[in-house]
């Protein structure tokens, strides 16, 4: 088969790009199509393929302003000529599924998330935007929503990365979907030796919805130490917070450094809502418990009181109660059985992901 993989944009390596990596390992001859592409920031497993872009890539400052060009992406995607391809896999989180396949092609959409800024998080994005962005959102978002629904009809088979996303696909597109968890490279963490010290960890790219503010407030109020790893924090605000002596910001970290952090922290704090959440799975692979807000993909990846603690309200008070419960169970010897962690995370491995994806394609060929 001639295969095309459509990925929304290729500008950095995050969870979606790790899914792309596994797909390219399965289909090494696939061509890649994307809206915006920065070759300098891409590893060889992407740049070694034929990578084609939409016209968005040629617009001024597209690699920085790509989100502002989103209203132009539906038209740009429809102009891609994919008539020669037998299998099309769209990797959807930003616009990617709206391509026009030939009548005999099979279009599978691996949906990381229906676009958040169009649907369930629209009001949060709107509230935190400036006047000009709000004006743009009011005028253009309704039309993009209609396109998003209509383009779902161009998909033959939806795959969701969690039951949380599957329910949203059903809500917004009225389509059923199979749940296949994204690939997590659990193997590089399984031999990690735990040597917990007296601090908690917040790790990840720091954006509004990840709710770092809750972690900071809870740790300061309860006099617990917190280490923050990841890019995107407001350093002026952090400087004020660090006066407490409880908050440490170490910025962006390497793979080896995060393994050390997973080894040394008492637990990972995860107060945001993620569609799946690869970082908590990585932490558990390293034997590190996770204390997380009980909503989104985390409900499927963390076992309450076994591999972590889930708290019910997205607030500092609820997180403090969860920290208290965690430390009580920790004193009683909980979270020390590494086999429990290992057996739990096996279902999220890259191998399991590949087997399930191949099964979807084989079922199509047989039928």
Please write the tens of the pLDDT for every residue from 149-202. Answer: 999 999 999 999 999 999 999 999 999 999 999 999 999 999 989 999 999 999
Considering the domain architecture, whether residues 361 and 303 belong to the same structural domain is answered as no
DSSP structural state of residue 183:
P
Does residue 236 carry a pLDDT above 80? no
Considering the domain architecture, whether residues 193 and 285 belong to the same structural domain is answered as yes
> What is d(CA 1, CA 106) in angstroms, rounded to the nearest whole number?
11
Considering the domain architecture, whether residues 339 and 360 belong to the same structural domain is answered as no
Domain count for the chain, please give it: 2
Does residue 121 carry a pLDDT above 80? no
Averaged pLDDT for residues 87-98: 94
Q: Are 75 and 56 in contact (CB under 8 A)?
A: no
3-state secondary structure of 125: helix
Considering the domain architecture, whether residues 61 and 99 belong to the same structural domain is answered as yes
Does residue 243 carry a pLDDT above 80? no
**Most confidently modeled range among 67-71, 194-198, 248-252:** 194-198
Averaged pLDDT for residues 80-104: 95
Considering the domain architecture, whether residues 316 and 259 belong to the same structural domain is answered as yes
For residue 206, the model assigns a pLDDT of 84
DSSP collapsed to 3 states, 186-215: CHHHHCCCCCCCCCEEEECCCCHHHCHHHH
Considering the domain architecture, whether residues 78 and 142 belong to the same structural domain is answered as yes
For residue 234, the model assigns a pLDDT of 73
For residue 124, the model assigns a pLDDT of 79
First to last CA, the chain: 16
Considering the domain architecture, whether residues 255 and 302 belong to the same structural domain is answered as yes
Considering the domain architecture, whether residues 75 and 161 belong to the same structural domain is answered as yes
Quick one: which of 137, 149, 23, 157 has its CA closest to 98? 149
Contacts of 24 (CB under 8 A, 6+ apart): 5, 30, 32, 45, 46, 49
- Label residue 352 exposed, middle or buried (CB < 10 Å: 0-12, 13-18, 19+): middle
Contacts of 115 (CB under 8 A, 6+ apart): 93, 94, 95, 148
Considering the domain architecture, whether residues 317 and 336 belong to the same structural domain is answered as yes
Report the mean per-residue pLDDT for the chain. 93
Considering the domain architecture, whether residues 273 and 196 belong to the same structural domain is answered as yes
Does residue 68 carry a pLDDT above 90? no
3-state secondary structure of 305: coil
Percent of the chain with pLDDT over 70: 97
Higher per-residue confidence, 231 vs 229: 229
3-state secondary structure of 87: strand
DSSP collapsed to 3 states, 252-277: CCCHHHHHHHHHHCCCEEECCCCCCC
Considering the domain architecture, whether residues 177 and 191 belong to the same structural domain is answered as no
CATH number of the domain that residue 119 is part of: 3.40.50.2000
> What is d(CA 182, CA 349) in angstroms, rounded to the nearest whole number?
8
For 61, the domain range is 3-183+349-366
For residue 220, the model assigns a pLDDT of 93
Considering the domain architecture, whether residues 130 and 191 belong to the same structural domain is answered as no
Q: What is the pTM of this model?
A: 0.91
Q: Are 241 and 177 in contact (CB under 8 A)?
A: no
């Amino acid at each position: 088969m001639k295969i095309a993989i459509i990925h929304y944009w290729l500008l950095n390596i995050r969870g979606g790009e790790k899914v792309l990596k596994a797909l390219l390992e399965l289909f090494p001859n696939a061509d890649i199509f994307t809206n915006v592409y920065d070759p300098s920031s891409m590893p060889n497993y992407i740049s070694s393929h034929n990578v084609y872009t939409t016209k968005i890539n040629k617009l001024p400052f597209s690699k920085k302003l790509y989100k502002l060009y989103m209203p132009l992406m539906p038209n740009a995607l429809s102009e891609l000529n994919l008539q020669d391809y037998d299998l099309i896999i769209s990797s959807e989180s930003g616009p990617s599924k709206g391509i026009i396949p030939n009548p005999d092609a099979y279009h599978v959409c691996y949906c990381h998330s229906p676009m958040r800024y169009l649907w369930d998080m629209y009001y949060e994005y709107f509230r935190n935007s400036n006047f000009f962005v709000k004006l743009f959102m009011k005028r253009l978002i309704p039309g993009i929503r209609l396109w998003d629904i209509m383009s779902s009809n161009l998909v033959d088979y939806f795959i969701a990365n969690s039951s949380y996303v599957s329910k949203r696909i059903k809500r917004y597109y009225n389509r059923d979907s199979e749940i296949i968890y994204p690939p997590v490279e659990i193997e590089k963490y399984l031999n990690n030796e735990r040597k917990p010290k007296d601090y908690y960890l917040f790790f990840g790219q720091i954006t509004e919805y990840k709710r770092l503010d809750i972690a900071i407030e809870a740790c300061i109020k309860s006099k617990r130490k917190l280490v923050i790893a990841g890019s995107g924090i407001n350093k002026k605000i952090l400087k004020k917070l660090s006066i407490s002596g409880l908050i440490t910001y170490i910025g962006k970290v390497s793979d080896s450094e995060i393994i050390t952090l997973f080894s040394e922290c008492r637990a990972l704090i995860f107060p945001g809502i993620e569609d799946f959440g690869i970082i908590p799975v990585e932490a558990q692979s390293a034997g590190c418990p996770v204390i997380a807000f009980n909503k989104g993909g985390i409900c499927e990846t963390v076992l309450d009181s076994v591999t972590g603690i889930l708290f019910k309200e997205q607030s500092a008070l609820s997180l403090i109660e969860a920290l208290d419960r965690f430390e009580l169970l920790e004193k009683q010897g909980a979270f020390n059985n590494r086999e429990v962690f290992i057996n739990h995370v096996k279902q999220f491995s890259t191998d399991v992901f590949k087997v399930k994806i191949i099964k979807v394609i084989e079922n199509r060929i047989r039928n």
